[in-house]
Structures are given as C-alpha cells and as structure tokens.
Amino acid sequence: MPGCIGAIDCTHWQWIKCPKAFAGQDHDRNGKRSVVIESVCDEDTNIWHFFIGARGSYNDKNVLASSPLMLDVNAGLWPPRNLSYTINGRTHRLLYYTADQGYPRYPILAMPHPASVTRKLFVYNRLQEAVRNDAERLYAVMPSRLNIVLRPARFPTVERMINTITKVAILHNMAIECTRAGFLAHQRMQAAPGEPADGKGHQADGNASGRDGGRVWDAGGHGFFVNIGPPSAR
C-alpha cells in the first residue's frame, strides 16, 4: 500500500492497583480497570509512536483525539507534507496509517471500507486487514518478549506505568534491531534500486519496502512520550 507509514491500534493494560476514585474513569468494556496504550508500528513491529495514559473508559476515537500524535497532525507538523505518492494515477500528499473500524474517517487513516459491496472493495478490505494486523501483532510480540506487560500492572500511579512501559518499548525496539541486525524498513527505503540496503546481502526494491512495496519512512521516530525511533533516523 503506497504511502502507508504504519499501523495504528490501541490496547488495554489492566491496572490492578487503580485507586477507587478513578474506578469510573478506568472502567473498560470488560469490566476491569485499565489504561489504554496507543501505538504505531511497522511491519517489523518496530514502534514509532507510543502513547499510554489515556483512561480505560476511552475508545479508539477518544484516545486518538487526546493523543499527542493528533496534536501534531492538527498543528500541521505531521505527517510531512513534502512527500507525495501516486495511487491509481492520482497524486496524494497525506501519508496515512492503517487502522480498524473504531477510528474516525480521516484521510490520514486508511480504514476498511464500511460497505464492501463490490469485489474491489472486498479485496481491498482483505489486504487492509492483513496490513493492519501488524499493530495487533505488536501486542502479542511485546508481552511475550517482556513479561511484565503480560501481567496486570501493580503500580500505584499512572506515571510509574508510563515509566515502565517506556522502558519496555525501548527494549522491544532494541530487540527488533538486534533481530534484524540493524536492517530496518527505513534503510531499505533509503537504498537505491538494485543496491544492497545494508551490505548484508539484502536487496532493496527501489521505491518499495517491506511486504507489498509501499511503506514510506521519512522522519525518524514519531514518539512523544517515547521517542524511540532507530538511532540512525534521529
């Protein structure tokens, strides 16, 4: 999908020691007290944006509205407007994230079509679901790698939860970099067509990267609470 800069999704982290005063705000749909984590990741599950601290009662739309990511979008700082891509013979300027149905219909979010009445839309929804799955995969990979996220949080304050999950996200990105031996999507993007991206025998594919040829990475990590893009991109 040309112009895609990652997959965005939210998850809940249960908070056992939630004060009773916050019970109403942190009460999620499963009846537990939790805090919402919003993240943007790429196909390697490398985290580019991480936001934790929204109340458990928030849904995806509320979290996005309160997210620092949206503050930058509203201010015109993100996504970068100096990049363009062409789909179906039409040039677009706004890069986009893939998201699920819970998000608002913004052009920076490529969501599944609400009524897939034609084969084209059906096939698009199927592929979009596959690309969107990267964000879901992150919430499986990260807890399995760092077990503290798998368990409910036992911290007395949200600040300590933020502190902990920040470290977890940094460690997760370090693990991704080690797994890929420093070979990340943005390096594939920067390599010229036909040239090895990192001198390790990987072949870059010109204007494309990753699975389906279209991820565009320009600026470095877009983190607010956590600015954890790869060191070479900062």
Partner 1 sequence: MPAEDQGRDPCDQDGPESIYGSLRYTNGVESEPKDKDAHFDLLGDLSEHVWKDRGRFLSAYVCESLAFRLLSGLRVSVSVPKGFFFPLGRFFFSSTNLAPEPKRNEPTDAGMSSVRGLVTKKPAEGH
Contact between 82 and partner 1 (CB under 8 A)? no
Contact between 117 and partner 1 (CB under 8 A)? yes
Contact between 90 and partner 1 (CB under 8 A)? yes
Rounded to whole angstroms, the Cα distance separating 206 from 179 reads 23
| DSSP-based three-state secondary structure for 76 | coil
For partner 1, the binding residue among 25, 57, 116, 133 (CB under 8 A) is 116
For partner 1, the closer CB: 99 or 135 = 99
Site for partner 1, residues 159 to 218, rule: CB under 8 A:
212
Q: Which residue type is seen at 41?
A: C
Site for partner 1, residues 126 to 155, rule: CB under 8 A:
126-128, 130
At 3, give phi and psi (nearest 5°): 90, 0
Contact between 123 and partner 1 (CB under 8 A)? yes
1: tokens are: 């999908």
Rounded to whole angstroms, the Cα distance separating 183 from 202 reads 9
Contact between 101 and partner 1 (CB under 8 A)? no
Describe the crossing of helices 158-179 and 119-145 by its angle, rounded to 10 degrees.
100
Contact between 65 and partner 1 (CB under 8 A)? no
- How many binding residues for partner 1 (CB under 8 A)? 36
For partner 1, the closer CB: 109 or 146 = 109
Within 10 A of 38 (CB to CB), how many other CB atoms are there? 24
Cβ–Cβ < 8 Å for 35, 153: yes
| Positions in the binding site for partner 1 (CB under 8 A) | 1-2, 73-76, 87-88, 90, 92, 94, 96, 104-111, 113, 115-124, 126-128, 130, 212
